[in-house]
Amino acid sequence: MFLVCACLAALATPAAVMAMTDSAGDGSLVVQHANGPHGTPVVELTITGAAIGHIWSGRILIDDATPDNGVSPEVTGATWQKGPTASQPAQSWGGTDFKFRVVGGTYTILIYGTDVNVVALGTGQVTLTGLSDTPLSDGTYSLNGGDFHSLPGQSSKLLTIGTAAPASTSG
């Protein structure tokens, strides 16, 4: 547990995260100690790139839009796992004190729970939802190397991670 927290803490510095990006237009998302309302995702993320995280208590749903790329989502320490099925291609996991990692593809990730920590690199979009009744203890986030802010008490607008790569012109 200490090693996971130490790794997440090391990755949590936005400047360090931005230095790790290697593609034009890549950005970052860092979420620390996020807590959300029951039944609403704390983090609703679509990313082309990579994401790692730790969930103290809750569940995660991962839909892999690039299942044939040879890289599958990895979740360790979860109490239970469901899917995929023919009618539901997304997989879900849940429990306490578990970790996840997605790399090298396009993923939609929904995270429900308490004490959620996420670091994502690449391009994509995210919606964040904190607690309206305890706004000072619902966690913080940083987007694209910016300052940390408290999670919003209601679902945020759709936030953009990174920027689209500039169109090349030939002439």
Q: What is the pLDDT of residues 134-156, one digit of tens each?
A: 766 889 999 999 999 999 999 99
Token pair for 80? 């239970």
Average pLDDT over residues 74-85: 92
State what percent of residues in the chain have pLDDT above 70.
Answer: 80
Other C-beta atoms lying within 10 Å of the C-beta of residue 37: 17
Task: Give the CA-trace dihedral at 14, 150, 91, 67, to 10 degrees.
Answer: -30
Angle at 32 between CA 67 and CA 80, to 5 degrees: 45
- pLDDT of residue 52 exceeding 70: yes
User: pLDDT grade, residue 8 (50/70/90)?
Assistant: very low
Digit-coded pLDDT (tens) for 10-49:
444 333 333 444 577 999 999 999 999 999 999 999 999 9
